[in-house]
Amino acid sequence: MSTTTDTTTSRLTADDIDDLIYACRTGNLEWLSELVTAWSAQLSISESQVITSAIDIDDEGLGSRSCLLHYPAANGNLEIMTYLLDRISTSPPSAVSANDAQTNGTSTTSKTEEEHRRFVNTQNVNGNTPLHWAALNGHIEVVKALVKAGADPTIVNEAGRDAVVEAEYSSKESAAECANWLLKECEILERGTGSQIQEGQADADAGEESMDVERATDGAH
């Protein structure tokens, strides 16, 4: 993340971030919107910065390292996902970002878009992006929304699997549809390392992956 985002992270407490995460996990759009608006006004930062700085890391540097997008991705909540993606794509860049862009001779728009793409592709402690979780759980509309927002289907997790492989080995309804759609629509996708994993290795990793997603979908935080 940029220096601006890191600064924002230090201004949101662990409890503040927990509230934002809980609202995403439980699908409470009204509360989530109120929280984002309130913190944006109170801290004099954009709504985009509030959202992108809310990573699940506690005061000791521990946590799942999931971003807010991971939770609606795991739960298939397109409403929450759409709200988050809309806010990070429409919020104006901060003055610091604009100054940095001007100093470096780059456009503010391209710099902001790059920051948004990095956020959409946030990897948690197990290397899973929101796209991994959406595909694994068979949430095709969320998969489409993430790819449109810049999700990279070639990223592999700690088990060496990309989103397609996760979907292929998943028993979740519509997971196969997610895999087929990604293979058809994402020209950049090259199966590579992820697809070369043997079935035995994938089965051995399944328990860890299941626990990873359970932590995201559990209603209590």
For residue range 124-144, what is the model confidence (pLDDT) as tens digits? 999 999 999 999 999 999 999
Q: Residue 72: its pLDDT value, please?
A: 98
Query: Where is average pLDDT lowest: 56-65, 87-96, 120-129, 201-210?
Result: 201-210
Instruction: Check: CB of residue 183 under 8 Å from CB of residue 143.
Output: no
Which of 119, 179, 115, 114 is closest to 153 using CA atoms? 179
Structure tokens given for 186 = 């994402």
Average pLDDT value over all residues in the chain: 81
Write the CATH number for 165. 1.25.40.20
Which of 211, 84, 74 is closest to 143 using CA atoms? 74
Whether 30 shows a pLDDT value over 60: the answer reads yes
Q: How many domains does the chain have?
A: 1
Q: What is the mean pLDDT of residues 104-131?
A: 83
Write the CA distances from 217 to 14, 19, 96, integer angstroms.
20, 15, 36
pLDDT tens digits, one per residue of 198-220: 444 444 444 444 445 554 555 44
Query: Where is average pLDDT lowest: 13-27, 94-108, 136-150?
Result: 94-108
Residue 112: which pLDDT band, with cuts at 50, 70 and 90? confident
Amino acid identity for residue 4 in this structure = T
Q: Residue 115: its pLDDT value, please?
A: 87
Whether 92 shows a pLDDT value over 80: the answer reads no
Whether 74 shows a pLDDT value over 60: the answer reads yes
Selected residue with higher pLDDT from 20 and 92: 20
Parent domain of 154? 3-217
